[in-house]
Structure 1
Amino acid sequence: MFGIVPFRNNKINQRGGWLDMDSIFSDFFNDASLGFSGAGAIKADIKENDREYVVEAEVPGARKEDIKLELKDDRLTISVERSEETEEERSNYIRRERRYGSASRSFFIENVKQEDVTAKYENGILSIVLPKSETRKTNSRIEIQ
């Protein structure tokens, strides 16, 4: 035929059973080790009805104190910064581990009554209700000279 070979990212076969150091370090220091995973790390659903926008964001394992919300210039930003330290002492054995991670996500949401925005965090889900403003920004056409 055309000599088409299926692509497989099989690092073991490519290197005869040995993995390169770059892949070992990238696997070890990925976002999942920090408690967040994937691009953007904060997954969210945004719903809209006649009265409001509702944002539901997944922030598992975070504490309410670790989450920061900001609404500025029609942009809602959800930020999470997490740090965790573990210290364990036994006879002749000391272990201390640290984990730090941060993630943020921004959304453009216009015509919001900022003073009436509410947020609730429960079971790893951050729910934000953004009531719509009665006054809408009008679009204007700009003539080019």
Structure 2
Amino acid sequence: MANHLMNFDPFSGLSSELSRFDPLRNVEELLRDFGGRGIHGTQPAMRLDVSESEQGYCVKAEIPGVKKEDIHVDVDGNRVTISAETRQEHDEKKEGKLVRSERYYGQQYRSFTLDKPVDEAQAQARYENGVVALTLPKKAGGNGRKVQIT
């Protein structure tokens, strides 16, 4: 009689399923289906594009509906911060009487670190059609120096 025994492990494959277990996965999808932003995070209101060349960095930040005077850009070494104060006011009047008034005041900002330090004195910014465009030249001589061991 031939011995045709096979090894059977009832727990094989179960460990990979447990390692990927996320009890809130379905709740996240449910909130997204109803137009919510989810519970694990929200999409940033200020979207950024950062590109690098040999001379410097080009940053474009979308900040629609904000006045130029309410936008602030700070550059400190290789750290860049863009902040904007947002205001929305809506008044609804009916027959000369105020029926509803809604106001929103807030601030949004993005802060990020670049690979190389920026020459703050040569940095330029312009705001057009809801987009802030930054030209950030790299600081000369920011590559460090080699030290000779004697």
| Shorter-chain TM band | 0.5 to 0.7
Between the aligned partners of 2:141 and 2:30, the Cα distance in structure 1 is 57
Residue 135 (1) aligns with residue 135 (2): no
1:48 to 33, 45, 52: 52
Share of identical aligned residues, percent?
33
* Equivalent in the alignment of 1:83: 87
Between the aligned partners of 1:107 and 1:85, the Cα distance in structure 2 is 31
For the 8 Å contact 1:40–1:104, the answer to whether it is kept is no
* Equivalent in the alignment of 1:97: 102
2:119 to 108, 113, 122: 113
For 2:104, give the aligned amino acid: R
Residue 57 (1) aligns with residue 76 (2): no
For 2:82, give the aligned amino acid: I
Q: Which structure has the bigger radius of gyration?
A: 2
Between the aligned partners of 2:76 and 2:30, the Cα distance in structure 1 is 46
TM-score w.r.t. length of structure 1: 0.65
Greater mean alpha carbon deviation, residues 129-138 or residues 87-96: 87-96
C-alpha displacement of 1:44? 0.4
For 1:74, give the aligned amino acid: N
- Give unmatched runs, 5+ long, in structure 1: 1-6, 12-22, 31-37, 141-145
C-alpha displacement of 1:67? 0.9
* Equivalent in the alignment of 2:75: 71
For the 8 Å contact 1:111–1:135, the answer to whether it is kept is no
C-alpha displacement of 1:99? 1.4
For the 8 Å contact 1:60–1:123, the answer to whether it is kept is yes
Q: Cα RMSD (Å) of the superposition?
A: 3.2
Between the aligned partners of 2:145 and 2:105, the Cα distance in structure 1 is 44
